[in-house]
């Protein structure tokens, strides 16, 4: 402690009797000194700082520990005992930076933390530049929707056969996850087939639209195996008949929310799109793009802007998935809350933009 006292006068007294604020101030000063010379320090120097900081940190405030973890998260010679202490903290503000980036955290530690900690810790681990199958197996098994989507989108994550099976199984009820998994370069042909077999038509189209030319050819080959007939997923719908029907309803003053709800519940896609186009004043090609998109937000905005109820909006969400399928419960509840919070004036402004936008243009949300 003599050397340590020369660095921070009164350090021994702070360690024994200092309050969290004094300890935090001492931690900042000592970490400043460490970072200043970290690139030249020998192992003995690192051990010295490790011992001092480890004795101070447990009783410091969360903010001070979080700041320290952030500063140490990219160092290859950070004090190892201190890093091991901070990375296991229950506060994600503290553990998060190290879980995301620290090169000192080995696989056994990550696996252990992934098994024991909550979703915020799993989400942080999912952001690491590389992840082994041993880690992703745990993440896929324990992670919630957001965590699994994040790890599936991490190009540096590697998955075992079991891990991929878990991803594909969960993707059957999560279109966003299905599209993310389908775009991975390490997805095998049998895994792609399994993914497409579990996906509804609208998800297959989204995946096809997002795929590279080579991937599109592979998707079509798999669809031939699944259906037994050639099937090109980049389909073009004929809305002419549906538009004539909707026009008749309009002239008879029968084009209303009830008619739209009947179309949606009967999974009459063309008639639903034509009714939405007529009720909103948006081109039907743009409506088609909105319905085929990756998110439910456009449906919420359309519904709010034309004044339809949540029940009808929910039926539109189900329509996109196809007969016999429905969105996952958490997705429905999240959409309901977003729909209720959506301000009509805001929805109307977006609708006005869509009314004047060309169908092939990007759709802002």
Q: 342: helix, coil or strand?
A: coil
Asked if residue 10 has pLDDT above 50, the reply is: no
Q: Is 301 exposed, middle or buried (CB count within 10 Å of its CB: 0-12, 13-18, 19+)?
A: buried
Residue 18 CB coordination number (10 Å): 19
Q: What is the rounded end-to-end Cα distance, in angstroms, of the chain? A: 59
Q: Which residue has the higher pLDDT, 146 or 292?
A: 146
Asked if residue 230 has pLDDT above 80, the reply is: no
Report pLDDT digits (tens) over 53-111.
887 877 788 888 899 999 999 989 899 999 999 999 999 999 999 999 999 999 999 99
Which pLDDT band holds residue 364 (cuts at 50, 70, 90)?
A: very low
Which pLDDT band holds residue 255 (cuts at 50, 70, 90)?
A: very high
Predicted pLDDT of residue 291: 84
Report the phi/psi class of residue 253: left, alpha or beta, with left for phi > 0 and alpha for psi in -120 to 50: left
Cα–Cα distance between 227 and 221 in angstroms, integer?
10
Q: Is 343 exposed, middle or buried (CB count within 10 Å of its CB: 0-12, 13-18, 19+)?
A: exposed
Compute CA distances 48 → 5, 44, 53, 283, 318, whole Å: 12, 6, 9, 70, 61
Report pLDDT digits (tens) over 243-252.
999 999 999 9
| Cβ pair 70, 97 in contact under 8 A | yes
Q: Is 42 exposed, middle or buried (CB count within 10 Å of its CB: 0-12, 13-18, 19+)?
A: exposed
Predicted pLDDT of residue 45: 81
| Per-range mean pLDDT, top range of 70-79, 318-327, 328-337 | 70-79
| Cβ pair 351, 280 in contact under 8 A | yes
Specify the range with the lowest mean pLDDT, choosing from 103-112, 144-153, 178-187: 178-187
| Cβ pair 196, 168 in contact under 8 A | no
Cα–Cα distance between 132 and 310 in angstroms, integer?
43
Which residues fall within 8 angstroms of residue 51, CB to CB, at 6 or more apart? 81
Which pLDDT band holds residue 188 (cuts at 50, 70, 90)?
A: very high
Predicted pLDDT of residue 81: 93
Predicted pLDDT of residue 58: 79
Mean pLDDT of 176-184: 91
Cα–Cα distance between 241 and 251 in angstroms, integer?
16
Asked if residue 180 has pLDDT above 50, the reply is: yes
Concatenated DSSP letters of 126-150: TTSS-B-HHHHHHHHHH--HHHHHH
Mean pLDDT of 177-201: 90
Which pLDDT band holds residue 218 (cuts at 50, 70, 90)?
A: confident
Asked if residue 292 has pLDDT above 80, the reply is: no
Rounded to two decimals, the pTM is 0.63
């Amino acid at each position: 402690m003599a050397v340590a006292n020369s660095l921070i006068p009164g350090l021994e007294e702070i360690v024994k009797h200092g309050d969290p604020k004094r300890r935090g101030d001492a931690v900042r000063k000592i970490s400043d000194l460490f970072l200043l010379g970290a690139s030249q320090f020998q192992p003995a120097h690192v051990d010295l700082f490790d011992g001092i900081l480890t004795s101070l940190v447990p009783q410091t405030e969360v903010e001070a520990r979080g700041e320290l973890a952030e500063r140490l998260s990219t160092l290859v010679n950070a004090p190892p005992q201190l890093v091991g202490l901070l990375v296991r903290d229950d506060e994600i503000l503290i553990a998060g930076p190290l879980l995301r980036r620290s090169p000192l955290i080995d696989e056994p530690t990550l696996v252990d933390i992934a098994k024991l900690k909550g979703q915020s810790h799993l989400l942080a681990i999912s952001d690491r530049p590389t992840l082994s199958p041993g880690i992703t197996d745990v993440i896929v098994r324990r992670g919630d929707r957001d965590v699994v989507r994040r790890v599936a989108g991490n190009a540096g994550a590697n998955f075992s056969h079991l891990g991929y099976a878990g991803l594909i199984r969960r993707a059957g009820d999560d279109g966003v996850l299905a599209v993310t998994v389908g775009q991975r370069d390490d997805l095998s042909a049998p895994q792609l087939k399994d993914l497409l077999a579990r996906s509804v038509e609208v998800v297959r189209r989204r995946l096809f639209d997002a795929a590279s030319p080579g991937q599109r050819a592979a998707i079509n080959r798999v669809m031939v195996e699944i259906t037994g007939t050639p099937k090109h997923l980049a389909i073009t719908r004929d809305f002419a008949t549906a538009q004539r029907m909707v026009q008749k309803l309009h002239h008879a003053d029968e084009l209303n929310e009830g008619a739209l709800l009947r179309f949606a519940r009967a999974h009459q896609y063309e008639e639903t799109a034509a009714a939405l186009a007529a009720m909103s004043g948006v081109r039907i090609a743009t409506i088609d793009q909105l319905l085929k998109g990756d998110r439910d937000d456009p449906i919420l905005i359309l519904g709010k802007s034309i004044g339809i109820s949540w029940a009808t909006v929910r039926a539109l969400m189900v329509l996109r998935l196809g007969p016999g399928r429905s969105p996952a419960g958490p997705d429905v509840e999240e959409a309901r809350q977003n729909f209720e919070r959506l301000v009509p004036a805001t929805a109307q402004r977006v609708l006005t933009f869509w009314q004047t936008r060309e169908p092939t243009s990007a759709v802002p949300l």
